[in-house]
């Protein structure tokens, strides 16, 4: 058995936290030979919910769970953290403008980035789930002096999984028969869910869709009119139907994001700090096709985007630039 891995989860008393903690403690994220030490970081109002979850964790008697600590102090919460999952965020309140939302979250993710730099383990990897996830990750990375920027990422795996789920349903396939899906850009309605590289049983998805729908024109129409808007607006659809935002699917995506980063994957989507790949301004936290050999996500380069795909990607990158500029104007970066 290896040494325990310390996993810090912020917002652990919230809904996603509750859907996430038990699966991590059961070994689904890091595997059956890596014990975990959980650190639950909350704000004072969230502490009792986190304490309740900790009682239930104890009652599960998970063999891999090496301890649970709860705190509302970020430096204590990130002390020795090997993995940090930043879930807690400030939601958009009534009448709140986008700049207000960004400012409120900068007040969370700036200090958390600084606490990570001060206290986390030297191999720390951080994923931001709390929205606006990409720009929150940008703020945390910029505030974590001395921690390499490539340790920070933001979650677009839920968008990726949603896209795969839609394709699998249309093609009457299992999800694992759909490969090489790509989410480009921001985790927002401007994201571009790109099937142009995707394959179904080694056949290009676009050809499989044409076969299924009776022609290439029909396939393109379904992609444009149904698939793209459905994936981009799936969060709103879940709220409408379920009466509450995505929770289990978001927790699942966060777990898969960390699992694949830590244990390796040939191909998935994740938002990582741009080094200028695909012409995206350096430093933006942008979703790309990525791979991992178990030591962090790396952008897969050389994937073709046609003119229309490029325009959709550029629109999402423009939104990321504008979020960054808003945050800069607030004096945060």
Report the interface residues with ligand NAI, using CB under 6 A: 10-11, 13-17, 41-43, 45-46, 49, 87-89, 91, 108, 129-131, 133, 155, 158, 187, 245-247, 250
Minimum CB distance to ligand NAI, residue 247 (Å)? 5
Query: Which residue's beta carbon is nearest to the bound ligand NAI?
Result: 14
3-state secondary structure of 247: coil
Cβ(245)–Cβ(235) below 8 Å:
yes
Minimum CB distance to ligand NAI, residue 303 (Å)? 22
d(CA 76, CA 47): 14
- In the bound state with ligand NAI, the residue whose beta carbon lies nearer, of 209 and 246, is 246
Q: Cβ neighbours of residue 233 under 8 Å, at least 6 residues apart?
A: 189
Minimum CB distance to ligand NAI, residue 44 (Å)? 9
- In the bound state with ligand NAI, the residue whose beta carbon lies nearer, of 171 and 272, is 272
- In the bound state with ligand NAI, the residue whose beta carbon lies nearer, of 1 and 248, is 248
- In the bound state with ligand NAI, the residue whose beta carbon lies nearer, of 115 and 219, is 115
d(CA 270, CA 229): 20
Helices (H), the chain: 15-25, 47-60, 74-77, 98-119, 133-143, 157-170, 205-213, 216-222, 228-232, 234-242, 248-263, 307-329
**Given 34, 187, 257, 324, the catalytic residue:** 187
d(CA 78, CA 159): 28
Cβ(4)–Cβ(121) below 8 Å:
no
Residue 160 annotated in active site: no
Minimum CB distance to ligand NAI, residue 11 (Å)? 3
Enzyme catalytic residues: 187
């Amino acid at each position: 058995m290896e040494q325990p891995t310390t996993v810090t989860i912020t917002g652990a008393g919230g809904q996603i936290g509750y859907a996430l903690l038990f699966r991590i403690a059961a070994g689904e994220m890091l595997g059956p030979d890596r014990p975990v030490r959980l650190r639950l970081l909350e704000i004072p109002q969230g502490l009792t919910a986190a304490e309740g979850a900790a009682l239930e964790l104890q009652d599960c008697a998970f063999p891999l769970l090496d301890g649970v600590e709860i705190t509302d102090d970020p430096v204590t919460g990130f002390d020795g953290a090997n993995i940090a999952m930043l879930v807690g965020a400030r939601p958009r309140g009534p009448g709140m403008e986008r700049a207000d939302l960004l400012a409120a979250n900068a007040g969370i993710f700036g200090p958390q980035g600084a606490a990570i730099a001060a206290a986390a383990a030297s191999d720390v990897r951080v994923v931001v789930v709390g929205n606006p996830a990409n720009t929150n990750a940008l703020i945390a990375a910029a505030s974590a002096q001395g921690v390499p920027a490539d340790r920070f990422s933001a979650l677009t795996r839920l968008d990726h999984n949603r896209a795969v789920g839609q394709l699998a349903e249309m093609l009457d396939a299992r999800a694992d028969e759909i490969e090489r899906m790509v989410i480009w850009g921001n985790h927002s309605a401007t994201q571009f869910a790109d099937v142009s590289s995707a394959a179904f049983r080694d056949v290009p998805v676009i050809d499989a869709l044409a076969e299924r729908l009776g022609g290439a024109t029909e396939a393109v129409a379904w992609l444009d009119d149904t698939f793209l808007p459905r994936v981009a607006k799936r969060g709103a659809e879940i709220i409408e139907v379920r009466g509450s935002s995505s929770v289990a699917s978001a927790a699942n995506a966060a777990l898969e994001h960390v699992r694949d980063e830590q244990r390796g994957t040939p191909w998935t989507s994740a938002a990582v700090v741009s080094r200028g790949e695909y012409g995206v301004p350096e430093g933006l936290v942008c979703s790309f096709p990525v791979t991992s050999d178990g030591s962090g996500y790396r952008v897969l380069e050389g994937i073709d985007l046609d003119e229309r795909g490029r325009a959709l990607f550029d629109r999402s990158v423009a939104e990321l630039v504008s979020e960054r500029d808003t945050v800069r104007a607030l004096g945060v970066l």
